[in-house]
Amino acid sequence: MNLKYNTDLGGMNTFRMKVKAACLLEYDSAEELSSLLSDTRFSSELPLPLFHIGGGSNLLFTGDFPGTILHSRIRFIEPVEDGDDVHVRIGSGVVWDDFCAWAARNGYWGAENLSLIPGEAGAAAVQNIGAYGKEAGDIIESVECLDIQDNRTVVLKGSECGYGYRESRFKNDLKGRYIVTAVNVRLTKKYSPDLDYGHVREALAERYGSAVIDERRLTPAQVREVIIDIRRNKLPAPEETGSAGSFFRNPFVLPEQYAKVAKVAEKENLGPVPHFPGDDGLIKIPAAWLIEKCGWKGYVEGNAGVYRNQPLVIINATGKATPDEILALESKIVSSVREKFGILLRPEVEHI
């Protein structure tokens, strides 16, 4: 266990906000967490509220945190092979990409498209992370949790986690109550690349030749490498530039709102509006397009900015941005998109 008071969180969030937490409690096993929290003499001394973080890659700390930050150091990867299936139990504190690298190294399919997504395995199950046509929920069999309200262990099947697009019950009715301690996923040794999203197939053909694809000779490691290359070209590397990835959610709008956007685009010669069908007759418009057409791509103000290759990403441009600078830029982007297109953008990044 690691218990610290008045601790700097600058190295524990990828936005690199230099904020402090009144207390940080890192634990090494589910049993340790359970016994610490059930020891009333110990737990009643912890400043409140409690907030659990992983790698801090989907968070914006808006100031010093007055309570206790919990963090898992449960780190194991335990595979069990069963024919072609490989059931893997992953400790919640394992860096997600370390698991993806491990799977690719062993020739197991299922996690390669999710390579290089920052953060830890516990949060991957909370966030239902996704990329290149795959979501964590596609491979999650069950999630082991500690219910800190009743201090009991609970195992939720994947089908009970309420997975949807970047959604889960851990972000909704179970938030603040269930702490993920391990994630069970199913991988396979059977040849099963998933190449139908974006430019993955073309990039693989360019790198390894199309015969490798046609003759079904690809390996998970090759797909992983190409996914990593594509991601590095599009997104800022957390070790170089502070960010929390996509800052805003893609809006789903009514057909009449979409028509208004199309009218503005026509009047201002903005080109065709990219759009995709959503549920219930709604239409998805990429937030990145709306932000770019408001002129924010590559914009920098003070220490905060908008990433030059992906306008959905707000960055800590100099490494010295304060939460207020990020919040001010967020608010300006939201206002300008609302004024021009009549659409209210909502943040994807959780504000703490």
Per CB under 6 A, 305 contacts ligand FAD: no
CA–centroid distance for 124 within its chain: 7
- Rounded to a whole number of angstroms, the minimum distance from the CB of residue 52 to ligand FAD is 4
CA–centroid distance for 72 within its chain: 17
Residue from the set 37, 56, 250, 343 that interacts with ligand FAD by CB under 6 A: 56
Q: Which one of 142, 166, 168, 224 is the catalytic residue? A: 166
- Rounded to a whole number of angstroms, the minimum distance from the CB of residue 276 to ligand FAD is 17
Per CB under 6 A, 317 contacts ligand FAD: no
Give the pair of three-digit tokens for residue 3.
């218990």
Residue from the set 72, 222, 250, 310 that interacts with ligand FAD by CB under 6 A: 72
Active site residue 45: no
Residue from the set 19, 21, 53, 218 that interacts with ligand FAD by CB under 6 A: 53
State phi, psi for 208 to the nearest 5 degrees. Answer: -115, -5
Residues of span 325-344 touching ligand FAD by CB under 6 A: none
Q: Which one of 26, 32, 167, 348 is the catalytic residue? A: 348
Per CB under 6 A, 185 contacts ligand FAD: no
DSSP 216-245: T---HHHHHHHHHHHHHHHS--TTTSEEEE
Residue from the set 23, 161, 235, 329 that interacts with ligand FAD by CB under 6 A: 235
> Angle at which helices 255-267 and 323-341 pack, to 10 degrees?
90
Active site residue 192: no
3 state DSSP class of 190? coil
Residues of span 95-154 touching ligand FAD by CB under 6 A: 117-120, 122-124, 126-127, 129-131
Percent helix, strand and coil across the chain, each to the nearest 5: 35, 30, 40
The whole-angstrom separation of Cα 271 and Cα 274 is 9
The whole-angstrom separation of Cα 177 and Cα 184 is 20
Per CB under 6 A, 184 contacts ligand FAD: no
- Rounded to a whole number of angstroms, the minimum distance from the CB of residue 248 to ligand FAD is 12
Cβ proximity to ligand FAD: between 142 and 273 the closer is: 142
The stretch near ligand FAD (CB under 6 A) out of 29-37, 211-219, 239-247, 252-260 is 239-247
The stretch near ligand FAD (CB under 6 A) out of 1-9, 156-164, 212-220, 237-245 is 237-245
Report which of 36, 3, 32, 46 is spatially closest to residue 92, judged by C-alpha positions. 32
Give the pair of three-digit tokens for residue 23.
């207390």
- Rounded to a whole number of angstroms, the minimum distance from the CB of residue 124 to ligand FAD is 5
Active site residue 217: no
3 state DSSP class of 180? strand
Q: Which one of 34, 115, 246, 330 is the catalytic residue? A: 246
State phi, psi for 114 to the nearest 5 degrees. Answer: -100, 15
Burial class (CB in 10 A: 0-12, 13-18, 19+), 47: middle
Report which of 197, 196, 92, 76 is spatially closest to residue 140, judged by C-alpha positions. 92
Active site residues: 166, 246, 348
Judged by the rule CB under 6 A, the positions of this chain that interact with ligand FAD are: 14, 52-59, 72, 92, 117-120, 122-124, 126-127, 129-131, 166, 170, 179-180, 235-236, 238, 243-245, 350
